[in-house]
Amino acid sequence: MDKATQVSLAKRLMAHVAAGTTDAADHQMRMPVKQYGDHELWKAEIEKLYKRKPVMAALSCELPEPGSFLTLSIVGTPILITRTNEGLKAFLNVCRHRGAMVAPENCTGRQTRFACPYHGWTYDNTGRLLAVADAKSFGPIDLDSHGLTELAVAERSGLIFVILTPGIEFDIEEWMAGADRHMGLEDRLEGYRLVGSRSVNAANWKLVIEGHLESYHFAQLHRDSVGRFMETNCTTFDRFGSHLLITFCQKSIQDLSNRPEEDWQPLREEMINPQYLLFPSSLITIWETAIIAQIIQPGDDPGSSTSRIVYAVKKDLEGDAQAAANAATMLDGVAQLVKDEDYMASFQIQRGLKTGAQESIVFGQNELGLMLFHENLKAELEPAD
């Protein structure tokens, strides 16, 4: 994020702090409770939003060099992503013989060949079928037409996107709608190193996302954590197509007014906390020296979801042993915080909504982010003719 953008965001937030306001809607919104538990709606979301639209799968630094690979499952679809000498490839992690996975799930490393553990059919990292075990007894097989099933994949600003349905292509420039340029990250995060990742379970995926779209809850839910130093109910919003930028701020942000504007470093000093929601459910938080991604996806039923939290830091910190230790602690701390506070709240809300206490919930005018999110959901699920 460039300096001018940082300063502009800081000024907007400082004005809100001074006035006791936040970016807000001119109305409230009612949201039916069935949005969070209806099985048919949940199935439609998976099919239309997760299987037929680009979804974020990883940070580029998870596949740092040719020969790198990553396996994971997104809404039950096993995928294999490889970095070849020519660029990224993505496939269904499914052997074309009998359907077993050719590489273990949730695995990463360096490997250019993948042998199916069931019968030993072997593929290279471009998806080409190289060999069939005991080919003579198996009988004739066309190697060229039995490669791994390829998926559309694209890399932009250090973020990797795939479409889970074979045969659907996408234009990454059009999909990002300028959010990538606004972030200002390197194309492959070459200057970053991966610290690691953690997975945390939560309730309905929309409840999880909603908790990241407002700071109205900071003083209460996070009173012993981020609420001690972050402003409550003070947020700005910016739109990039279906994506959002949500920016929070430190309570000390007004200290900037005591310095010349040319000396301001809002991001370096963590006066502002910009977080991008990349539709439908990936959150990218940027700091001066680090980036954290929360890649959230629906679980096996409407009441569950999973967040894969990925953390990377700038490589110029590598020589600093204390900084390296702090990075690992930071990743564990973020995972524990969202598990104990944000996601625990989502489970409690899910239980409450199941009781039949109400048919709808209400979003206040100060919860503009939730309204924008649901407007985008509706537009993608029910596109205009």
Predicted pLDDT of residue 101:
97
The three-state (H, E, C) secondary structure of 305-365, written as one string = EEEEEEEEEEHHHCCCHHHHHHHHHHHHHHHHHHHHHHHHHHHHHHHHHHCCCCCEEEECC
Same domain flag for 26 and 161: no
Same domain flag for 206 and 279: yes
104 lies in some domain: yes
Residue with tokens 């972050």: 230
Boundary-marking domain end, from 105, 134, 169? 169
114 lies in some domain: yes
Same domain flag for 132 and 259: no
Same domain flag for 281 and 373: yes
CATH of the domain at 137: 2.102.10.10
User: Cβ distance 367 to 214 under 8 Å?
Assistant: yes
Q: Is it the case that residue 316 has pLDDT exceeding 80?
A: no
Alpha-carbon distance of 247 to 193, in angstroms, equals: 25
State the number of CA atoms in the 13 A half-sphere of 83 facing the CB: 19
Same domain flag for 248 and 361: yes
184 lies in some domain: no
174 lies in some domain: no
348 lies in some domain: yes
343 lies in some domain: yes
Same domain flag for 241 and 160: no
Range of the domain at 47: 3-52+190-381
Same domain flag for 75 and 105: yes
pLDDT in tens, 189-227: 888 999 999 999 999 999 999 999 999 999 999 999 999
User: Cβ distance 285 to 29 under 8 Å?
Assistant: no
pLDDT in tens, 20-69: 999 999 999 999 999 999 999 999 999 999 999 999 999 999 999 999 99
pLDDT, average across residues 275-303 = 96
* Tokens describing residue 63: 């596949």
Boundary-marking domain end, from 135, 169, 203? 169
The pLDDT-based confidence of 282 (bands split at 50, 70, 90) is very high
User: Chain-wide mean pLDDT for the chain?
Assistant: 94
Task: Report pTM.
Answer: 0.94
Predicted pLDDT of residue 385:
56
pLDDT in tens, 244-274: 999 999 999 999 999 999 999 999 999 999 9
CATH of the domain at 26: 3.90.380.10
* Tokens describing residue 177: 């709608």
Predicted pLDDT of residue 148:
98
Same domain flag for 135 and 240: no
User: Cβ distance 289 to 185 under 8 Å?
Assistant: no
Q: In 15-30, which positions are buried (b, 16+ CB within 10 angstroms) versus exposed (e)? A: ebbeeeebbbbeeebe
Predicted pLDDT of residue 322:
66
How many domains is the chain partitioned into structurally? Answer: 2
Boundary-marking domain end, from 137, 169, 201? 169
267 lies in some domain: yes
Backbone conformation region of residue 211, classed left if phi is above 0, alpha if psi is from -120 to 50, else beta: alpha
Same domain flag for 244 and 368: yes
Same domain flag for 128 and 10: no
Adjacent-strand bridge partners of 305: 202, 298
How far, in Å, are 73, 179, 280, 380 from residue 152 at the CA level? 16, 20, 17, 19
Same domain flag for 194 and 124: no
Same domain flag for 163 and 198: no
pLDDT in tens, 71-126: 999 999 999 999 999 999 999 999 999 999 999 999 999 999 999 999 999 999 99
233 lies in some domain: yes
